[in-house]
Amino acid sequence: MSGLRGRDYISVASFSPAELWSVLELSRELKLRAYSGERVIPLLSGKTLMLIFQKPSTRTRVSFEVAMKQLGGFTVTANWTELQLGRGETVADTARNLSRYVDGIAARVYSHRDLVELAEYATVPVINALSDLEHPVQALADFFTIWEKRGRVHGVKVAFLGDGADNVAHSLILMAASLGAKISIATAGGYEPSPRILEIAEERARSTGAEIDVTHDVEHAVLGADVVYTDVWVSMGQEAEAERRIRDLSPYRVTKEVMAMAKPDAIFMHCLPAKRGYEVVDEVIDGPQSVVWDQAENRLHTQKALLALLL
């Protein structure tokens, strides 16, 4: 069906810009078909996806399970600790074994290294369902939403406010770089994005015309923005640092005043779950510029496309 069959998606950079576009294009087709009443499109009839979670999930878990069912397939979902992984069976042995039962594995892990190892030893596609480093399936839905709402992606300016070293921010940077968008990250000192992520993004940007910048100045990031994006200041696994993070990142809260610095028709985005009153106030996330529920819905359509292409 495509050059993506059998491939892993553990980073946005696992795919070329053209391959990322092929996922977005199929997402649009599948969403249109779903809205015209085709609930089940059996592209993965009889196939099974294994979902492994080391951390909680609402959207990722449910959207992947529903996506597989709407494609005619099945899912098996398990918590990391209820598998023998929790008793010390290696990631490599788990990967070798699961590959004998299922057609693809999506995993949410603390350490990105575990995903790399899973992908190395599995003989079926491995999808990153969030790690400490990246959230690449989220970035697919995010840029699909931007494409849907703004009619284009190239040249669109995204301002991300908050933790610059956040998994969601990293994947957004790589996606913006791949698709020729502009992204400005406004964050506090010590919370800058991973230098390695920025390096890969800069390299991609040279051929796509993307622009990436990191600043401590909210106004600089948000001025002229088409999209204002934020995520939690305390990600899963960072609870012990909560006090320091909340103190350091408080200047990056998305308020009505911040939205007023962006273009008048700018949209507000958040991967969710939101910690209301911290990174975003109610009047913004519940306000007319917010597209967070469409963005969450698009997880389903984009993951259907991803699964159909990989599996």
Between 128 and 167, CB nearer to ligand NVA: 167
Q: How many residues bind ligand NVA (CB under 6 A)?
A: 9
Neighbours of 206 (CB within 10 A): 9
Where helices occur in the chain by DSSP H, the ranges are 17-35, 59-70, 91-98, 112-121, 136-150, 167-179, 195-208, 218-222, 242-249, 256-261, 282-285, 292-310
State the nearest-atom distance from the C-beta of 103 to ligand NVA, in Å.
Answer: 25
Neighbours of 275 (CB within 10 A): 14
Query: Using the rule CB under 6 A, is 128 a contact of ligand NVA?
Result: no
Residue 108: active-site member = yes
State the nearest-atom distance from the C-beta of 296 to ligand NVA, in Å.
Answer: 11
**Residues pairing with 50 in the sheet:** 76, 105
Residue 103: active-site member = no
SS3 36: coil
Residue 84: active-site member = no
- 58 makes contact, choosing from ligand CP, ligand NVA, none, with CB < 5 to 8 Å by partner type, with ligand CP
Neighbours of 20 (CB within 10 A): 23
**What string marks each residue from 163 to 192 as x (binds ligand NVA by CB under 6 A) or -?**
---xxx------------------------
Residue 138: active-site member = yes
Q: Which residues make up the interface to ligand CP (CB under 6 A)?
A: 57-60, 130, 138, 271-273
Q: Closest-CB residue for ligand NVA?
A: 235
Residue 112: active-site member = no
Residue 135: active-site member = yes
d(CA 31, CA 305): 9
Closest by CA position to 135, among listed 155, 160, 100, 153:
160
Catalytic residue among 54, 70, 114, 138: 138
Query: Using the rule CB under 6 A, is 231 a contact of ligand NVA?
Result: yes
Query: Using the rule CB under 6 A, is 236 a contact of ligand NVA?
Result: yes
Catalytic residue among 231, 245, 301, 303: 231
| Count of alpha carbons within 13 angstroms of residue 227, beta-carbon side | 33
Between 141 and 232, CB nearer to ligand NVA: 232
Helices and strands (DSSP H and E) totals, the chain: 12, 9
Active site residue ranges: 108, 135, 138, 231, 271, 299
Can you give the binding site for ligand NVA, defined by CB under 6 A? 130, 166-168, 231-232, 235-236, 271
